[in-house]
Amino acid sequence: MHDLAVALPLAGVVLDLGSWLSWIVVGLIAGAVAARVVAGRGFGCIADIIVGIAGAIIGGYLLGALFNVSGTVGFFGGIVVAFLGAAVLLAALKLLSGGRL
């Protein structure tokens, strides 16, 4: 592991400084797709990135908790995991907001 890393122990995620760009790209793709699937529209570039990165953390946690999956899944697997987590996040927000999202 590099000296400059951020660990999120609850989600089992370690982010190297060099992987931030990958997280932003994965977050943008997953957040944009999930927003269009769940809400019917995107929320803008920055919001889609935030939703996608939060989705990646949620999706990684859910895969670990529900299916006992651990390790890395690669770039495209990361997009799928982030999409699933982002879709769960947006669906929960949509339920809590009474359908307004």
Question: pLDDT at position 63, please?
Answer: 86
Pick the more confident residue, 52 or 100: 52
Which tens digit of pLDDT belongs to each residue from 29-80? 999 999 999 999 989 999 999 999 999 889 988 888 888 877 777 888 888 9
Match 């060099």 to its residue by tokens: 18
- The domain locations on the chain are 20-96
CA distances from 25 to 4, 30, 48, 78, 98 (A): 20, 9, 10, 10, 30
pLDDT, residue 100, reads 83
Confidence at residue 1, expressed as pLDDT on a 0 to 100 scale: 46
pTM score over 0.85: no
